[in-house]
């Protein structure tokens, strides 16, 4: 029997997106396996969500240089032979070498409607800018931060009395189904990165897929 596609996960924080992936695998909604969780923060709660044998962590400051840390991370991830590498709240900028090594199978979930609000503090910035809508995007990773081709997005309204925390919680509730729906397409081999474009079933996507109002499938 063929082995399920292998997913390596990079995370620095609590790991709720990782948990959504693990839950979906456990109850048969995602035909895949998590083969390793990698963190720059040994205390990250995300690591605790998988058995010890699947955990890898290393503190970048303990390496002689940034390049040494990046090489160690690259080797560790490569050793798990992943089909897909998923960044979910991984808070370090990936080196060009890492990106090139896994290019085309390297995904990130970002809490904004890209290309709006790349980088940090996306929820506060959406409020500051008076955005009527906010959300999350899953995109292919390229060396430029949060600038790769966007595969799929989920949208939430911004309420007049939102603060960053409340808006973040609303976005997080759509991140999990968004990530799952995107991974279902990925592991089925239906999406690919072609330069700055995403293809779905071999055809270019001119706009990102959107989660439907039921929150559990993408609109194609
Ligand atoms: C999410 O909001 C994700 O979009 C961002 O970092 C957060 C990670 O949350 N990149 P969690 O660790 O998955 O709970």
Q: Which atom of ligand 1 is nearest to the CA of 172?
A: 2
Domain membership of residue 82 (yes or no) is yes
Burial label, 140 (beta-carbon count in 10 A; 0-12, 13-18, 19+): buried
- pTM, to two decimals: 0.96
pLDDT tens digits for 99-155? 999 999 999 999 999 999 999 999 999 999 999 999 999 999 999 999 999 999 999
Which position among 110, 117, 123, 139 bears the catalytic label? Answer: 110
Range of the domain at 195: 6-211
CA separation for the pair 31, 49 (Å, rounded) = 19
From atom 10 of ligand 1, which residue's Cα is the shortest distance away?
A: 89
Q: Which atom of ligand 1 is nearest to the CA of 171?
A: 2
Round the CA-based radius of gyration of the chain to a whole number and report it.
Answer: 17
How many domains does the chain contain in total?
Answer: 1
Domain membership of residue 1 (yes or no) is no
The CATH number linked to 169 is 3.40.50.170
CB-based contact 97:70 (threshold 8 Å): yes
């Amino acid at each position: 029997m063929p082995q399920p596609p292998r997913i390596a996960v990079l995370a620095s924080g609590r790991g709720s997106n990782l948990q959504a992936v693990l839950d979906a695998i456990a109850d048969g909604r995602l035909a895949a396996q998590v083969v390793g969780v990698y963190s720059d923060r040994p205390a990250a709660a995300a690591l605790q969500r998988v058995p010890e044998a699947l955990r890898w962590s290393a503190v970048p400051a303990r390496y002689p240089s940034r390049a040494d840390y990046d090489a160690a991370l690259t080797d560790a991830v490569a050793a798990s032979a992943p089909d897909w590498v998923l960044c979910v709240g991984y808070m370090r900028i990936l080196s060009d070498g890492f990106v090139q090594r896994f290019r085309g199978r390297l995904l990130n979930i970002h809490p904004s409607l890209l290309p709006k609000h790349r980088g940090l503090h996306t929820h506060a910035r959406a409020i500051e800018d008076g955005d009527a809508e906010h959300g999350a995007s899953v995109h292919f990773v390229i060396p430029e931060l949060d600038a790769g081709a966007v595969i799929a997005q989920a949208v939430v309204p911004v309420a007049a009395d939102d603060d960053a925390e409340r808006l973040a919680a609303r976005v997080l509730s759509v991140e999990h189904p968004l990530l799952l729906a995107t991974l279902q397409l990925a592991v089925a081999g239906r999406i690919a990165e072609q330069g700055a474009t995403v293809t779905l079933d071999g055809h270019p996507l001119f706009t990102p897929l959107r989660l439907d109002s039921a929150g559990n499938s993408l609109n194609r």
